[in-house]
Chain A
Amino acid sequence: MSTVAGYYTTQFGELWDKSLFDLVEEAMQGVIKNTKIKKESIDAIFFGNMLSGLLDNNLHASAKIAEILGVHVPVFRIESACASGGMAFHLANKYIESSSAKTVLVIGAEKMTDYSPEQTTKGLAAASSGEEQEVGLTFPGLYAMMAREYLTRFNYTEENLAYVSHKNHYHGSLNEKAHFKRKISVEQVLKSSYVADPLKVLDCAPISDGASAVLLTVDKKILKRNKHCKVLSSEAATDSISLKYRKSLDEIYSTKLAAQKAFQKAKIKPSDINVAELHDCFSIAELFAMEAIGFWKKGEAGKNIKELGTMFGSGGSLTVNTSGGLKAAGHPVGATGIKQIGEIYLQLTKQAKNRQVKAKYGLAQNVGGSGGTSVVTILSI
């Protein structure tokens, strides 16, 4: 069983003085320094990134990473839209399980603010179907259509969604690496302008720059020197890229499948999880995740979120998105899945400082597109 033995993340935000590979270098060197390893002990590198080929005309990142680090090991670039980071981790874990590799570096990174919001929005839309792009649908637009179905079917309003952003911004205020460190009220969310009706600006994760890295290893010498947590399972599942071919619009079915596999392999149940990082690219997506993973019953997330039992300090058995989630910590697409696992690592190894919760088991859920890909990873002390 592999373990996460170290984590480093750059600041998330609008980092105009840094390029994609400045961020990648900072994250790689950061985790190498934190774990006190020599670069020669790294057997392979996995890099999660979505947009560099599209926005930067910048492919073959594997050779660039080899150049930065001065290594000659295999380097793999993984693209699964917003699940690129989670999928990189999933594959790195499989690589250790199935090869002689002992230590693997996993990085996720994205540079999104070099371009206008319209250009970045267009780049992100590449992760939707051709038809969805042709009619001018954006990702907020796709999730808005899913949200409308959920709100209509279960008789909720936009207020039910607003509590997700309120909670996650409070968590962001406790995370020095978060893009947004300010608290927002439910009223502020409700008063913000629409991006794609019924979703408003404060229902949506921002466009951010950032890079995160974790060290995955089975090397006992490295484990001896570092705080670590076990990877009980990391499972992936897929669904149709287009929303129109889904069985239902008000769920993320791929998350349900990935979670079922992950819990089966980890031999624990959803009620055992104490801390979770869920893919709240939009407020509605955290509610879908709570239901798909099995933390809450179908149709009840809209009601339950208003109790704020998953907020830090509430005394509940499960705290969700202590990093601030994508909403407040920021969403540099390729980095997100790694930052989620890194946050769970910090919680399980008691390094989460002012947002530390008591936790034995943690879970990270990373989604690509409108639910076409999901990766669910379960970690334990």
Chain B
Amino acid sequence: MISPVKIWRRQKVIKKLLGKTGKIISWTMIMVPSADFKENAPYPVILVEFSDSKRAFGQMVDYKKEDLQIGNKALCILRKVRKPTDDGVIAYGLKFRPLA
């Protein structure tokens, strides 16, 4: 279950990654999502590795089909990641956009 306090706690991690660029090391296109993401499908999810070898997952936005390739660069950005909770808190999190 999602709660406002969990969303708030997560921000501490997310803010450290914003603006970083990394390389795509794998990706998929989710066609059959889970209940929380029913309205978003299909959507691509990428796994990115930064220069310090740390990794992060995120959905890719503003992409063309050819951007989804192992080795391509992507930039960490802040976007809404879920529908608002019943308490009205909007969950912001990491997404990526392609970097030419």
Contacts and interface: CB of A to CB of B under 8 A. Distances in A.
Given A122-B36, A134-B81, A136-B40, A149 B93 contact: no
A134 B10 contact: yes
B30 A137 contact: yes
B34 A249 contact: no
B30 A136 contact: yes
Contacts of A193: 31
Contacts of B94: 135
A196 B28 contact: yes
Contact of B31 (A125, A195, A245): A195
A136 B70 contact: no
B83 to A, nearest CB: 12
B38 interface: yes
Most buried by A among B38, B45, B55, B70: B45
Contacts of B58: 135
Contact of B26 (A138, A145, A199): A145
Contact of A141 (B28, B35, B36, B38): B28
A148 B28 contact: yes
Given A131-B56, A137-B57, A122 B31 contact: no
Contacts of B26: 145-146, 148-149, 249
A132 interface: yes
Interface in B1-39: 10, 25-38
Band of interface residues on B: 20 to 34
A197 interface: yes
Contacts of B37: 136
A338 B13 CA distance: 40
A144 interface: yes
B75 interface: no
Interface size class of chain A, counting residues whose CB lies under 8 Å from the partner chain: 20 to 34
Contacts of B32: 117, 121, 138, 140, 195-196
B74 interface: no
A108 to B, nearest CB: 24
A118 B29 contact: no
A136 B56 contact: no
Contacts of B59: 135-136
A258 interface: no
Contacts of A376: none
B63 interface: no
Contacts of B33: 118, 121, 136, 138
Nearest to B70: A152
B70 to A, nearest CB: 6
Interface in A100-123: 116-119, 121-122
B31 A132 contact: no
B32 to A, nearest CB: 5
Specify which of A131, A136, A137, A152 lies most central, judged by the most chain B CB atoms within 10 Å of its CB.
Answer: A136
A140 B34 CA distance: 11
Interface string B46-67: 0100000001111100000000
15 contacts: A135-B57, A136-B36, A137-B57, A140-B32, A145-B26, A193-B31, A194-B29, A195-B31, A196-B29, A196-B31, A197-B29, A197-B31, A199-B28, A244-B57, A245-B55
Interface of A: 116-119, 121-122, 125, 131-132, 134-138, 140-141, 144-146, 148-149, 152, 193-199, 243-245, 249
Interface of B: 10, 25-38, 40, 43, 45, 47, 55-59, 70, 81-82, 91, 93-94
